[in-house]
């Protein structure tokens, strides 16, 4: 699955319009073998944008009933910056329980995992994976895929911002000098210890440059990051 996710991230990076993003959401659902993958830009100005695999009947119902105001997932995530398992949210009110029952009727699934994302100028979006399964299965799934999902969530948000023509494209896509040096030396075949020594930094600090570069490049791991850095022309070896 790791290889599939790497390829997926390549495709995501190449998405050039909302139709592409929609196709990506569907691909990801198939790769992860879950019921649903959804990206939802939640705007205060009333503008909404979403793509994903929920059926049009649920989307319509959600919009018609203005569920965005009552959805415990949106409310629970809005003021947080950590990834949220739906089980931890407050489902105690009657409204929440009715909403949940209805969502399940529409096939959303009894389990969910949502990642809040913040962009420039107060932009807020949610990236969600939902599925029908028992708690143990879901706990394992979220544990195994948490880091990848965080990365993918930010990838979707970057694309959505790009399509909106947001003046600020988010983090600079270019690597900083240290990140470039680290990636170059890794590409040439230095071990981390050798890279750290060459750059006269500790291995801890090196890890952070690699991590920062990896995130900017939207890569799942170091090998993937090096490959992307080369193919995108950030480094030349």
Partner 1 sequence: MLHFIYACDLANYPQLQTTMFQDRARQFKDRLKWDVSVDDQGWERDQYDDLNPLYVILSDGGRHAASMRLLPTTGPTMVNDHFDNLLPDGRLHSAQIWECTRFCLAPGQGTAAASALQLGGGHIMQRFGVDHLVGVFDKLMTRIYRGIGASPDVMGTDNGICAGLWSFDDASFADLSRRAGIALDQVDTWFADSLATMGQGNANRP
Residue from 132, 205, 222, 232 binding partner 1 (CB under 8 A): 205
- Is residue 225 within 8 A of residue 215, CB to CB? The reply is no
Which of residues 3, 56, 66, 79 is near partner 1 by CB under 8 A? 79
CA angle (202 as vertex; 201, 205 as ends), nearest 5: 85
Q: Which of residues 22-41 bind partner 1 (CB under 8 A)?
A: none
Asked whether 160 and 39 are in contact (CB, 8 A), the reply is yes
- Among residues 146, 174, 144, 173, which one has the least CA distance to residue 159? 173
Of residues 108 through 167, those in contact with partner 1 by CB under 8 A are 117-118, 124, 146-147, 150-151, 153-154
Nearer to partner 1, 26 or 198 (CB): 198
Kindly give, in sequence order, each residue whose CB lies less than 8 Å from that of residue 224, ignoring residues fewer than 6 positions away.
6, 9, 214, 217
Do residues 76 and 130 make contact, with C-beta atoms less than 8 angstroms apart?
A: no
Residue with tokens 């329980």: 97
Q: Considering only CA atoms, which of 58, 82, 53 is closest in space to residue 71?
A: 58
Residue placing its CB nearer to partner 1 in the complex, 28 or 182? 182
233 interacts with partner 1 by CB under 8 A: no
Q: Does 216 bind partner 1 (CB under 8 A)?
A: yes
The conformation of residue 19, written as its DSSP 8-state character, comes to: H
Instruction: Verify binding: residue 179, partner 1, rule CB under 8 A.
Output: yes
Give min distance, CB of 195 to partner 1, in A.
14
Question: 213 — phi, psi (to 5°)?
Answer: -65, -45
**82 lies in the binding site for partner 1 (CB under 8 A):** yes
Q: How many residues bind to partner 1 according to rule CB under 8 A?
A: 45
Told to check if 94 binds partner 1 by CB under 8 A, we report no
Q: Which spans of this chain sit near partner 1 (rule: CB under 8 A)?
A: 42-44, 68-69, 72, 74-76, 78-83, 88-90, 92, 117-118, 124, 146-147, 150-151, 153-154, 171, 176-179, 201-202, 204-205, 207-209, 211-212, 214-216
């Amino acid at each position: 699955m790791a290889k599939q996710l790497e390829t997926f991230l390549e495709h995501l990076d190449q998405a050039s319009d909302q139709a592409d993003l929609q196709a990506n959401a569907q691909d990801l659902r198939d790769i992860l073998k879950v019921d649903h993958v959804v990206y939802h830009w939640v705007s205060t100005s009333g503008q909404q944008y979403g793509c994903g695999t929920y059926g049009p009947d649920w989307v319509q119902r959600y919009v018609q009933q203005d569920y965005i105001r009552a959805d415990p997932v949106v409310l629970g995530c809005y003021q947080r910056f950590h990834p949220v398992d739906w089980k931890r949210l407050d489902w105690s009110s009657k409204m929440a329980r009715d909403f949940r029952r209805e969502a399940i009727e529409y096939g959303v699934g009894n389990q969910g995992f949502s990642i809040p994302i913040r962009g420039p100028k107060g932009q807020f979006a949610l990236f969600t994976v939902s599925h029908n399964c028992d708690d143990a299965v879901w706990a394992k799934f979220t544990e195994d895929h948490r880091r990848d999902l965080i990365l993918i969530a930010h990838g979707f948000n970057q694309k959505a911002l790009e399509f909106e023509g947001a003046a600020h494209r988010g983090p600079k896509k270019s690597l900083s000098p240290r990140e470039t040096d680290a990636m170059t030396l890794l590409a040439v075949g230095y071990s981390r210890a050798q890279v750290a020594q060459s750059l006269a930094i500790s291995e801890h600090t090196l890890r952070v440059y690699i991590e920062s570069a990896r995130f900017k490049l939207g890569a799942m791991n170091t090998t993937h990051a090096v490959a992307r850095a080369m193919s995108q022309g950030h480094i030349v070896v």
